[in-house]
Amino acid sequence: DAGVIQSPRHEVTEMGQEVTLRCKPISGHNSLFWYRQTMMRGLELLIYFNNNVPIDDSGMPEDRFSAKMPNASFSTLKIQPSEPRDSAVYFCASSLTGGIAYEQYFGPGTRLTVT
C-alpha cells in the first residue's frame, strides 16, 4: 500500500495567490482529515470528511480556506487568497471509518511558504 499521498511536498507562493493542496487517501478508507501544523499553534484539525461528506469544518480558519472531496480517492484544500500567516505544514490523514476508533494514517505533509 502506498499510504496517504500528498502533493506537492513543498509549495512556495506569493501573498494573494491561490494555493491548492492535494491528497489521495489509502484505498478503502472512508474518513479523511486535514490538519495544519505550526510552531505557535501545534497540530490543528481543519476539516474532517466521512464518506466524502464534510462532518466537522469548525477548524477551518476563515472563508479563504475551502476543502472538497469529490470522490473517495481524492481531496483538495484550497487557500484563496493566501497570506503569510498561512505558512505551515499541512497534513492529510485517512482512517478506515469515522470517529476515533480506528488509527489515522498521516501523509508526509505539504510545507507551504507564503511570502
Partner 1 sequence: AQSVTQPDIHITVSEGASLELRCNYSYGATPYLFWYVQSPGQGLQLLLKYFSGDTLVQGIKGFEAEFKRSQSSFNLRKPSVHWSDAAEYFCAVGAGLTSYDKVIFGPGTSLSVIP
Binding window for partner 1 (CB under 8 A); candidates: 20-28, 64-72, 76-84, 94-102:
94-102
- CA dist list (Å): 108 to 33, 72, 103, 112: 13, 19, 16, 13
Phi/psi of residue 84, nearest 5 degrees: -55, -35
Asked if 76 is part of the footprint of partner 1 (rule: CB under 8 A), the reply reads no
Tell me, by CB under 8 A, how many residues bind partner 1: 23
Decide: is 5 part of the binding site for partner 1 (CB under 8 A): no
Q: Judged by CB under 8 A, which stretch of 12-20, 42-50, 61-69, 71-79 contacts partner 1?
A: 42-50
Minimum distance from CB of 80 to partner 1 (Å)? 25
Q: Does 109 bind partner 1 (CB under 8 A)?
A: yes
